[in-house]
Amino acid sequence: MLKKFGLIAMVVGLLIVMTGCNMEEPITKDSTGFWDSYLVYPLSWLIIYFADLFNNNFGLSIIVVTILIRIVLLPLMIKQTKSAKAMQAIQPEMQKLREKYSAKDQKTQQKLQQEMMGMFQEHGVNPLAGCLPLLVQMPILLAFYHAIMRTGEIGNQPFLWLELGTPDPIFLLPVVAAITTFIQQKMMMVQDNPQMRILLYVMPIMILVFALFFPAALTLYWVVGNLFMIAQTYFITGPNVGKQTDEKAIGKQTKAKTGGKKK
């Protein structure tokens, strides 16, 4: 899990370097380059298009564009959710392997990795499948950021208590972004171990800190996306998948200890 987090951080850094164009340059149909022409400008055009439909309401436009993006990404997100569910189902077997190969020497750990990979293949589980949707979302999120910052029409457009081009003055939206990120992470959490529990709290804190300085429009995008993911995860896996998996694991351990005999 830490390797996955490190990979994501590396990709984010690479994308920031690759997209480090002049943020003061407005985005238009005449903008050149792959990044501006095929990612930033289409998003900017969509935001303006729906804002015109909603009587110049850019807040509603961002919500609609966010939902459209999530619908486009839905097949990948469903795959990620199902992958997390499959990983939950094999947790008891993974725990048995860890106990069997508990020694920390290199040979034993290599054997553990081989057994793990064999089990993943047997059950058709790809432990890296959850990375793909995250990696796909990153350039979209950065492109959305550029579209917001470089679309002059957004400027200081009001939406509820917000000015979309500036951070939330009362910090409510960043807090909501952090809470919804925590709920989403909790629902997707495969197993309860120290590393994953650290990430469970680190990610919402990171989102909170970033959202305090990001334009409210970008934080609005994140909140709506999180709510979409929470609803999706609920309807695909149910609200108590982790709890059900733990109960099954406990049941199997109890059965193993008693030899499966009924009293």
d(CA 177, CA 100): 41
Determine how many CB atoms are found less than 10 A away from the CB of residue 211. Answer: 25
Query: What's the N-to-C CA distance of the chain in angstroms?
Result: 41
Task: Give the pLDDT score at 151.
Answer: 82
**Same domain for 51 and 167?**
yes
**Residue 253 counted as domain residue:** no
Return the structure tokens found at 51.
Answer: 């804002």
Same domain, 218 and 191: yes
Q: 113-158: per-residue pLDDT in tens?
A: 888 888 877 777 766 655 666 667 778 778 887 888 788 777 778 8
**Band (45; pLDDT cuts 50, 70, 90):** very high
Show the domain range for 100.
Answer: 91-124
Confidence of residue 211 (pLDDT cuts 50, 70, 90): confident
Give the pLDDT of residue 23: 57
212 vs 14: CA distance, rounded Å: 23
* pLDDT greater than 50 at residue 188: yes
Does the pLDDT value for residue 246 go beyond 60? no
Residue 17 clears pLDDT 70, i.e. is over it: no
Report phi then psi at 163, rounded to 5.
Answer: -110, 115
Residue 196 pLDDT class (50, 70, 90 cuts): low
Confidence bin at 247 (pLDDT 50/70/90): very low
Would the pTM of this model clear 0.75, i.e. be above it? no
Query: Does the residue 15 lie in any domain?
Result: no
The burial class, CB within 10 Å (0-12 / 13-18 / 19+), for 204 is buried
Can you tell me whether residue 31 is helix, strand or coil? coil
**Residue 146 lies inside a defined structural domain of this protein:** yes
Q: What are the helix and strand counts (H, E) for the chain?
A: 11, 2
Percentage of the chain lying above the pLDDT 90 cut: 10
- 246 falls within a domain: no
Tell whether 55 and 104 lie within a shared domain. no
Q: Is 227 helix (H, G, I), strand (E, B) or coil?
A: helix
pLDDT tens string 61-113: 989 998 998 888 787 777 766 776 777 777 778 778 778 777 777 778 788 88
List, as own/partner pairs, every contact residues 242-247 make where C-beta atoms lie below 8 angstroms and the sequence separation is at least 24, other chains included: 242/88, 242/187, 242/189, 242/192, 245/88, 245/89, 245/91, 246/192
- Are 70 and 45 within one domain? yes
Name the residue type at position 77. Answer: M
Residue 247 in any domain: the answer is no
Instruction: Specify the number of domains making up the chain.
Output: 2
pLDDT of 175 reads 93
What pLDDT, on the 0 to 100 scale, is given for residue 46? 92
pLDDT, mean of residues 161-167: 85
Structure tokens at 226: 């999180």
Considering the domain architecture, whether residues 46 and 160 belong to the same structural domain is answered as yes
In this structure, is residue 259 part of a structural domain?
no
8 Å CB contact between 134 and 5: no
Domain check: are 214 and 106 in the same one?
no
